[in-house]
Amino acid sequence: MSWNPRVERVAPFRVMRLLEIAQAREAAGHDVIHLEVGEPDFPTPPSVVAAGQAALASGHTRYTPAAGLPALREAIAGHYAAHFGAEVDPRRIIVTPGASGALLLASQLLVAPGDRVLMADPTYPCNRHFMALAGAELDAIPVGPASAWQLDASLVARHWREDTRLAMLATPSNPTGHVLDAPGLASVAETVAAHGGHLLVDEIYQGLCYDLAPQSMAAITPAAFVVNSFSKYFGMTGWRLGWLLAPDAAVEPLTRLAQNVFLAAPTPAQHAALAAFTPESSELLEARRGELQRRRDALLKGLARLGLAPDLPPQGAFYLWLDISRVSRDSEAFCRRLLEEENVAITPGTDFALVGGEHHVRIAFTTGTERLEEAVVRLERFLARLEG
């Protein structure tokens, strides 16, 4: 059987196989600590759930406009104004089925087969895969502490080619949790504009910043395409809702694409999301951000004792990107053995990095502090055996 060769460029997500094994061990009676999947243990805010239930009870189950409920687009625009001082026309916001829907629209609009795309390495693998499915050629630029694990302006300028069409940023990033500040964002935007290219910014973890205020490319230039989601900060992973903020000229073709690719985002989820911007929800979400910061700090303290803490602590998201080269150059085997021997599930770096993934792992601090501290105790036992 012959398939579209572009599909062969989409690698499997290794963490999902690890999750299956972890769940099987759990079902067999083992006490597994889950630090592998990017989904905190917080439920959706009650006010959002209530709004979703009310929408269903009121019969809000029919299609919305392809670009989303006008009221939700206005609420998102108000969010940009209130938090970033960015005046955004609600017309420029396309509501999508998750951030994945936004990435799909952006990739189909911005690149053609053979176009080159600049992206940091490591990055969230689906960012690469969406571009591959569009037929683009990926230039994955290895990043590290020198650029704060980000694709900065100097790297963009150095690697831009004649056939480069797009640069993609992720801030805060998955898997490293590092950010670009406002001057850094502006420098990248200026560099891309000087080369006549497009800029796509993944801001899915934007609200989850710990050591500095969140920034948005929306406040810097109206020329960028900005992806965001209700999944991470707003705690609505299973509701499958995100958005794409686009330049004015791109709204019409993006709306056409949305009409044909997914018709519209889920209607009950859109009505529910209106409650995500209420004072009640905002207070709860900020308290959860504070809890994630405490978890990060507790995990960093424990890893420092083991000599594994990163040199640059993450400023956002809920991940730590750890170099394990001291004990292993095979992150997949390391993660598999850690799960089998100590019932701690973390993610191999090979899911995220084309270069260096074999000696990095990602830890998601998505469970409570006591469980994180217990995970460190188990990791310490495991390391003692490896090094012994």
Q: Are residues 81 and 22 in the same domain?
A: no
> Residue 387: what pLDDT?
85
The domain that holds 206 is classified in CATH as 3.40.640.10
Report the domain count for the chain: 2
Q: How far is 275 from 271, CA to CA, in rounded Å?
A: 8
Give me the mean pLDDT over the 349-355 stretch.
96
| Residue 2 banded pLDDT, cuts 50, 70, 90 | confident
Q: How far is 112 from 116, CA to CA, in rounded Å?
A: 9
Q: What is the pTM of this model?
A: 0.96
| Average pLDDT of the residues of the chain | 96
How big is the CA angle at 52 (ends 51 and 53), to the nearest 5 degrees?
Answer: 90
Q: Are residues 298 and 239 in the same domain?
A: no
Which one of 226, 248, 278 terminates a domain? 278
Q: Are residues 36 and 81 in the same domain?
A: no
Range of the domain at 379: 5-43+281-387
Q: Are residues 330 and 290 in the same domain?
A: yes
**Residue 1 pLDDT > 80, yes or no?**
no
**Residue 385 pLDDT > 80, yes or no?**
yes
Q: Are residues 136 and 256 in the same domain?
A: yes
Q: Are residues 35 and 66 in the same domain?
A: no
The domain that holds 34 is classified in CATH as 3.90.1150.10
pLDDT in tens, 153-162: 999 999 999 9
Q: Are residues 299 and 351 in the same domain?
A: yes
Amino acid letter, residue 306: L
CA atoms within 13 A on the CB side of 103: 23
What φ, ψ does residue 289 adopt, rounded to 5°? -60, -40
Q: Are residues 246 and 331 in the same domain?
A: no
Q: Are residues 146 and 268 in the same domain?
A: yes
Strands (E), 84-224: 93-96, 116-121, 137-142, 164-170, 198-202
Q: How crowded is residue 31: how many other Cβ atoms within 10 Å of its Cβ?
A: 11
In contact, 287 and 181? CB cutoff 8 Å: no
Q: How crowded is residue 244: how many other Cβ atoms within 10 Å of its Cβ?
A: 27
206: tokens are 């934007």
Which one of 216, 244, 278 terminates a domain? 278
Looking at the DSSP bridge assignments, the partners of residue 262 are none
pLDDT in tens, 334-346: 999 999 999 999 9
Q: Are residues 116 and 265 in the same domain?
A: yes
pLDDT in tens, 268-285: 999 999 999 999 999 999
Place of tokens 């936004």: 102
**Residue 388 pLDDT > 80, yes or no?**
no
Q: What is the CA radius of gyration of the chain?
A: 21
Share of residues in the chain with pLDDT > 90 (%) = 93
Q: How far is 179 from 85, CA to CA, in rounded Å?
A: 19
**Residue 8 pLDDT > 90, yes or no?**
no
Give me the mean pLDDT over the 58-87 stretch.
97
Q: Are residues 171 and 199 in the same domain?
A: yes
Give me the mean pLDDT over the 323-341 stretch.
95
Q: Are residues 156 and 196 in the same domain?
A: yes
CA distances from 65 to 62, 144, 266, 289 (A): 10, 43, 11, 33
pLDDT in tens, 171-184: 999 999 999 999 99
Which one of 243, 278, 313 terminates a domain? 278
Report which DSSP code applies to 316: B
Share of residues in the chain with pLDDT > 70 (%) = 100
| Residue 134 banded pLDDT, cuts 50, 70, 90 | very high
Q: Which residues contact 77 (CB under 8 A, 6 or more apart)?
A: 88, 89, 90, 93
**Residue 313 pLDDT > 80, yes or no?**
yes
